[in-house]
Amino acid sequence: MKRHLLLFTLLLTGSLSAAELPRLRQQGTATQLLVDGRPFLIRGGELGNSSGEPDYLRRFWSKLKAGNLNTVLVPIYWDLVEPTEGRFDFATLDGLLKDARSHDQRLVLLWFGAWKNSMSCYAPAWVKLDQARFPRSEDSAGRGLEILSPFSAANREADSKAFAAMMRHLKTQDPQHTVIMVQVENEIGMIPEPRDRSAEANRLFAGQVPADLLDYLGRHRSTLAPELQATWTAAGGRTSGTWAEVFGATPAGEEIFMAWHFAAFTQAVAAAGKAELALPMFANAALIRPSYQPGQYPSAGPLPHLIDVWRAAAPALDFLAPDIYFPNFMHWSRLYTRSGNPLFVPEALRSPEAAVNVLYAFGAHDAIGFCPFAIESNTEPAAGYLAASYDLVRQLTPLLVENQGKGLTAGLLQESPDNRQPLQVRLGRWIFHTSFERAAPPSLADGLAVVVGTENSALAGGGRAGAAPAGGLVIALGEDEFLFAGIGLTVTFASTLPGQQAGILNVAEGRFVDGTWVHERWLNGDQTHQGRHVRLEPGRFCLQRVKLYRYR
């Protein structure tokens, strides 16, 4: 009895963990998330902002499970956690933990603290009602904004205390580590002007740029985001001076100033939480619409051109993440993998294209995970496409994690819907030319039989209306053998060896069951156009194993 009591006491104090703490590790050029000591790919979905309370969410858990998710991103609201200063209520969090475990789901917590989508709408009433103690940012007319000032020690300390209390609660109440990561704040940004115009902000803007920032930029000058480098250089490239002297008295320079202070505030919150429980933590960004200038979008957040500023000011954050709602998914993914930042997409448009964007993210960028937004509201055909795609990711997870960081995978996606040119990808001694087919297949076309598998046959109907996505990924299984996963792809091959032509030795369709390949059918005839190409037909996700050879 005493031994059991000791174990229980150790669990409560955090001295003994019932599961290994989730963490990040480097494998080659990739960053992997380890859960229970094993690499884990997040097949996720983020809840709508007002769907995070257990009694409301309970009706959706079965739907989320059926959609082949393994992780749900849930908001945690500061105003519910600390309705009275210093008195904490974690009933919502405890309910989420219980329900997630019962449905075999992991959680990523989204801390809606000082800021959510720029605004401070989830700050508790005792914060909102005391502007003297908890000051707001101000516009150029001196009017207070619904944005807590990042320059206030009181704001920073209140947010940090609440966040630390939540992480301390997790340490004792979640020994299973149902929670695998935490997002600190949500889409931080300054709007509708590039910077805060309060007296304290003006005083600091007229002061010296912190040596820590300039030292960091100097040490990383060769790898800085080109946009930041250009702003710094245009102002003279100085290594000391006021913010206006170093970065310019321009909207771009003012945005850098705000980014430093937003990030420093976030650093304090994240560090306070990690001191209680060192889970992986990140911050997310609302991206910039074309031609928008600082102040017209949520400025100074962890945007691609400001990643270096955020890294310098907030080392407690493990990475920075994009919320991608724009159609140029490849463009934003590349920007967020510059300088070794791992790709995790906590929010994405819940459209049919989400189902192929996730495959591209894992294939091209060794992503940690992917999560469409308001996942509980996902409807057909997008929900069916995503479930089928997530099923492929589930099957491929052992292969993907084994090959992360080795340059043996590639993503297959159109740069934009208007780009009709085949995508060219090289893996080893082979070049792949991939075309994309979005329309759903007819039952018969020019003698080419198209067989729609029973498990995904319901998807074809939605695709006939033009909604079918097209994209996927490829994994090198050997020098001349490749596994293609996706939908709506036609791939031709070329050899990089002089005088050699590429031929298709054989193509097999199948699936993985418990990590073992299960053959379903050969596709060496009509389905490969008599050896001319590999085709993953539109309207249906599938896996095809391809062996190539060379001839003169």
User: Stretch 388-405: mean pLDDT, rounded?
Assistant: 98
**pLDDT at res. 466:** 53
Calculate what percentage of the chain has a pLDDT beyond 70. 92
User: Stretch 486-506: mean pLDDT, rounded?
Assistant: 95
Place of tokens 């993907």: 400
pLDDT bucket at 5, cuts 50 / 70 / 90: very low
400 to each of 474, 485, 518, how far by Cα in Å? 10, 12, 18
pLDDT in tens, 353-376: 999 999 999 999 999 999 999 999
* Strands ordered across the beta sheet of 542-551: 409-412, 471-476, 481-487, 542-551, 501-513, 516-522
**pLDDT at res. 500:** 93
Q: Which domains does the chain have, with CATH numbers?
A: 2-196+257-317 (3.20.20.80), 423-551 (2.60.220.20)
pLDDT in tens, 414-453: 988 777 889 999 999 999 999 999 876 444 334 333 333 3
**pLDDT at res. 18:** 61
24 to each of 20, 84, 474, how far by Cα in Å? 12, 35, 25
User: Stretch 301-326: mean pLDDT, rounded?
Assistant: 98
**pLDDT at res. 527:** 87
Pairing of strands 344-348, 319-324: parallel
**pLDDT at res. 19:** 87
Residues 6+ apart with CB under 8 A from 546: 481, 482, 483, 484, 504, 506, 507, 534
Provide the 3-class DSSP secondary structure of residue 359: helix
Q: Is the pLDDT of residue 62 over 70?
A: yes
User: Stretch 477-502: mean pLDDT, rounded?
Assistant: 96
pLDDT in tens, 126-178: 999 999 999 999 999 999 999 999 999 999 999 999 999 999 999 999 999 99
**pLDDT at res. 4:** 38
For the purposes of burial, counting CB atoms within 10 Å of the CB of 328, is it exposed (0-12), middle (13-18) or buried (19 or more)?
middle
Handedness of CA 235, 240, 241, 242 (dihedral sign): positive
**pLDDT at res. 440:** 61
User: Stretch 283-308: mean pLDDT, rounded?
Assistant: 96
388 to each of 69, 309, 380, 508, 540, how far by Cα in Å? 11, 39, 12, 19, 8
Q: Among candidates 285, 260, 387, 398, which has minimal Cα distance to 341?
A: 285
User: Stretch 72-86: mean pLDDT, rounded?
Assistant: 98
Cβ atoms of 328 and 416 closer than 8 Å: yes
**pLDDT at res. 439:** 73
User: Stretch 289-294: mean pLDDT, rounded?
Assistant: 94
**pLDDT at res. 463:** 37
- Tokens representing 417 are 């819907």
User: Stretch 470-490: mean pLDDT, rounded?
Assistant: 98
User: Stretch 30-47: mean pLDDT, rounded?
Assistant: 98
Look at 55 and 9; give whichever has higher pLDDT.
Answer: 55
Cβ atoms of 67 and 390 closer than 8 Å: yes
Q: How far apart are CA 96 and CA 52, in angstroms?
A: 8
Q: Is the pLDDT of residue 303 over 60?
A: yes
pLDDT in tens, 199-230: 999 999 999 999 999 999 999 999 999 999 99
Q: Is the pLDDT of residue 386 over 90?
A: yes
DSSP 466: I
| Residue 355 backbone class (left: φ over 0; alpha: ψ -120 to 50; beta: rest) | alpha
User: Stretch 62-72: mean pLDDT, rounded?
Assistant: 98
User: Stretch 451-479: mean pLDDT, rounded?
Assistant: 63
**pLDDT at res. 8:** 37
Residues 6+ apart with CB under 8 A from 475: 363, 396, 399, 400, 403, 408, 409, 482, 483, 485
pLDDT bucket at 549, cuts 50 / 70 / 90: very high
Q: How far apart are CA 322 and CA 414, in angstroms?
A: 19
pLDDT in tens, 503-532: 999 999 999 999 999 999 999 888 888 888
User: Stretch 294-301: mean pLDDT, rounded?
Assistant: 96
pLDDT bucket at 467, cuts 50 / 70 / 90: low
Q: Is the pLDDT of residue 464 over 50?
A: no
269 to each of 89, 126, 178, how far by Cα in Å? 19, 19, 22
- Report which residue type is found at 511: R
